Structure 1
Amino acid sequence: MSTEPVKGPASYFPSIEKKYGRPINEWKQLVRDRLPAKHMDLVSMLKGEHGMGHGHANAIVAHVLSAGKG
């Protein structure tokens, strides 16, 4: 098991779950359900419809979109 700290968008996931009370997989599914869409449109959806802060919304969207490119 790696002792490296989590970096990038995933480093926000524990605080997102704690602050907004839903598992990260639910947030990621909300984003996937809106695809295809532009990055900032997805960020705006999380902020406007779910009251999420910009940094948290951006982290989830970035993670989902980067996973789709792999």
Structure 2
Amino acid sequence: MTADKIKGPASYFPSIEKKYGRPISDWQALVRMHYPAKHMELVAMLKSEHGIGHGHANAIVAYTLVEDETPVPR
């Protein structure tokens, strides 16, 4: 039996948490605090204010924006 490999932005999460020492939920909370802002504005904020690399910042923002667009079932 093989486990499904994580794909897309979430595949970066283990290395983001290891490199920057904070859980993804913390980074997502920061992104959400800056709503409403455009994708690249949020990426720039993570890069300039928190020193996150472009690819990692983009992954956090992309995942968070998609997650927040998905309606929660009642």
Scaled by the length of structure 1, the TM-score of the pair is 0.95
Counterpart mapping for 1:1-70 below 5 A:
3-70=3-70
Shift of 1:69: 1.2
Provide the rounded CA distance (Å) in 1 between the counterparts of 2:20 and 2:54.
13
Q: Percent identity?
A: 67
Corresponding letter in the other structure for 1:19: K
Instruction: Spell out structure 1 runs of 4+ moving beyond 6 A.
Output: none
Indicate the RMSD between aligned Cα atoms, in angstroms: 1.0
AA at the equivalent of 2:64: V
- What CA distance in whole angstroms lies between the structure 2 residues aligned with 1:47 and 1:56? 9
1:9-66 deviations in whole A, cap 9, x for unaligned?
0000000000001111000100011111000000000000000000000000000100
Whole-angstrom CA distance in 2 between matches of 1:43 and 1:53: 9
* Bigger radius of gyration among the two: 2
TM-score, normalised via structure 2 length: 0.90
Structure 2's unaligned 5+ residue stretches are none
- Name structure 1 gaps, 5 residues minimum: none
The secondary structure found in structure 1 opposite 2:52 is coil
